[in-house]
Amino acid sequence: MKLEGKVALVTGAGSNLGKVYAFALAREGAAVVIGDLDGDLAREAARVLGETGARAIGLEMDMGNDAHIEAGVEATVAEFGGVDILVNNAGLARGRWNLCSELTNDEWRDILWVNVGAAMACARACRPIMAARGGGVIVNQSSMGAYAVLTSAYGVSKIAISGLTVALAHEFGPDNIRVNGIAPGAMNGRMPPEVFERMLSLQSIKRPGAPEDLEGALLFLATDASSFMTGQTLIVDGGVAARP
């Protein structure tokens, strides 16, 4: 129970990777706030966690809505007294497999705001709360697409989130807030079969990835096991982006 007494806010956590993250944090003792665009999914995930004895609530959080972001952080503080861990997992994958030039300007704005701007907004809202508690941890969701060739607006946004991770690590460091990231690789069922097969062929570890493969990286970054680490992004992709 390495996170006993800690409070974690996980965005985009009603399903998929975010849900795996939320459940992993809860198993280590953290009280968890599950934010998701689909409020029903968020509340159901929190209900399931509650049945295990964990402290959890689910909230509707639209990352394209500033008021939702602020309300989510305020609700976290109201329910559990603060925020120690923020996992910026929510993202928009519109046009994930389209070339950059194939998306409209509005689609570009949506992707860059949700994947980068909203992460910044969540971090900014949590900073004073974490600082008042003596520090905290922020984990940003990047992607293998930030390191391997992925010619899409989604990939560009994940390059940006990796850059934001470095920038915030320097900016928030004086408040004892560590900022790191995770870049998942190909996860079965999360991409078209032909794209998944191509990614699998590039992996050094010749098996499909699963969301549960990311739990260790998250818990390492969220706990004192990584207390002298900030501004880094862990690539968990089976070796696709490996290079000297």
Confidence of residue 241 (pLDDT cuts 50, 70, 90): confident
Mean pLDDT, residues 133-153: 87
Q: Is residue 239 part of a domain?
A: no
Please give the average per-residue pLDDT across 151-175, as a whole number.
94
Is it the case that residue 184 has pLDDT exceeding 90?
yes
pLDDT tens-digit profile of 35-71? 999 999 999 999 999 999 999 999 999 999 999 999 9
In a domain, 127, yes or no: yes
Tell me the whole-structure pTM to 2 decimals: 0.96
Q: Is 83 inside a domain boundary?
A: yes
Percent of the chain with pLDDT over 70: 98
Asked if residue 1 belongs to a domain, the reply is: no
Q: Is residue 183 part of a domain?
A: yes
Q: What is the mean pLDDT of the segment spanning 207-231?
A: 96
Q: Is the pLDDT of residue 223 over 80?
A: yes
- For position 136, which CATH number holds? 3.40.50.720
Contacts within 8 Å (CB) and 24+ apart, 59-63:
59/33, 59/34, 59/35, 60/35, 60/36, 61/11, 61/35, 61/36, 61/37, 61/90, 62/37, 63/11, 63/12, 63/37, 63/90, 63/92, 63/114, 63/118, 63/122
Amino acid 149: pLDDT: 63
Whether 218 and 24 have beta carbons less than 8 Å apart is answered as yes
The number of domains in the chain is 1
Residue 186 scores a pLDDT above 70: yes
DSSP letter string over 47-63?
Answer: HHHHHTT--EEEEE--T
Q: Tell me whether residue 154 is one of the annotated catalytic residues.
A: yes
Which of 95-99, 178-182, 226-230 is predicted least confidently? 95-99
Q: Is residue 240 part of a domain?
A: no
Give the pLDDT confidence score for residue 187 in this predicted structure. Answer: 81
Domain region containing 181 = 7-234
pLDDT digits 0-9 by tens, 62-118: 999 999 999 999 999 999 999 999 999 999 988 777 888 999 999 999 999 999 999
In a domain, 176, yes or no: yes
Packed helices 118-132 and 66-80: angle between N→C axes, nearest 10 degrees: 30
Give the pLDDT band of residue 215 (cuts 50, 70, 90).
Answer: very high
- Pick the catalytic residue: 154, 221, 237, 240? 154
Query: Would you say residue 37 lies in a domain?
Result: yes
The yes-or-no verdict on residue 150 having pLDDT over 70 is no
